[in-house]
Each structure stands twice: as C-alpha cells, then as structure tokens.
Amino acid sequence: MRLKYLIRDFKWVITPAAYILLMIIISLIFIMKNSNHDLIADKQDIIDGVSFGSKIEIDKINKPSEAENEILNQLINIELLFDSQQSSLEDIDNIKRIYGANQNGEVVLMAYFSNGVKNCKKLKYFSLGQNGKHYASTENNSISSSLTWNSKSNKYVYYNFYKPQGLDVKNNCLYLITAN
C-alpha cells in the first residue's frame, strides 16, 4: 500500500529515471548486438583455380613487371616469389592476377592488380561486392586509400594509390588476399 503512495507522490522523479534507464538498456543491447561485426564470414578464396596452400611451379613463374614488383614489395613486407598473368575478371580491361609463393612454391598471397581510374573503380566495386561495405575499415589520405576486411582465416585489402611515372601520375589498384 505504501508503494502506491510513494509512486504517486514521486512520479515526477520516477518517470524520467525509468525512461533514462530504459534508454540505457536498449542502447546496451544494440551495442552488444552490433559490436561483433568486425569479422566477415570465412570463405574459400580461389583465383583462377588456385587457392591458399596450392603449389605452383617455381620454374614456370611469370615475374611481374619492374613497376608492379616495386609496388608489391612496398605493400608487402614478406620476401615472396610473385607470379603474374593476365586475367579476366568481370569486365575489367587491364587486370592481372598475382600469386605470392614462398620458397617452397606454396601460395600464401593472392591478388588482382590493375591500373587506370575506370578499372580501379571497377575493382573497388568488385571488392565491395565480395566483402560488403559495412565491414570495411577505411584509411584515406590525399594520394592513396585502402579498404580492409578481416576474417578468422584471411585478410582482404583493397589499395588504390597514385604512383608517379616520369611526368605522369598513374592510378594503380590492388585487391589483396593474405592468410592470417
């Protein structure tokens, strides 16, 4: 009986406090539900029939051009043997698929490499289509940008950057998949 009178007398304090408590509880539930979106689902990554752990013949490797090799060595801090060949990915014109193999010939890195503004935009949309925009962490500065996705087994990175070649500046892009 006394509780009824207590609520009636102090309802001007209890109502806002109950409302704030309800908002806090709803916010905590929302944060807990949406906080675990930093990982994307694991999937079998295959580029032109080759997946991680596959063996490639080191004797038959087509080395990338000097400019491509320089870009790859800048972005990747591991000493790898790179195999580069023309590929056909959707309707992107000038695209190459690149495998990075260790000394045993085991594939530990896969990538698509292209250049030109139009082709880089298509490769960016391809990477967003594969992994989703919601899960990407973005890093952007004036001459380069990157999108990064993480899964339990792999890391996916899209690099878009400008590289000077003489008096020209060339737009290059790379969609990179590495094993964690």
Per DSSP, 21 falls in state H
Q: What is the pLDDT of residue 36?
A: 52
* pLDDT band of 152, cuts 50, 70, 90: confident
**Domain assignments of the chain as residue spans, ordered by start:** 2-34, 52-179
Beta bridge partners of 161: 144, 172
> Per mean pLDDT, which range of 34-38, 115-119, 143-147, 169-173 is the poorest?
34-38
Strand-pairing partners, residue 50, are 47
In tens, the pLDDT along 1-39 reads 587 787 778 888 888 888 999 999 999 888 877 655 566
Mean of all residue pLDDT scores within the chain:
81
Tens of pLDDT along 67-111?
Answer: 788 888 888 888 888 888 888 877 788 888 888 888 888 888 888
Other Cβ atoms within 10 Å of 50 Cβ, number = 17
Percentage of the chain beyond pLDDT 70 is: 90
Q: State the DSSP code for 38.
A: S
Confidence (pLDDT) at 89 = 74
Cβ proximity of 114 and 86 under 8 Å:
no
pLDDT at 56 over 90: no
d(CA 149, CA 45) in angstroms, rounded, equals 14
List the structure tokens of 171. 């737009």
Q: Name the residue among 105, 54, 97, 53 with its Cα closest to residue 81.
A: 105
Does pTM top 0.85 for this prediction? no
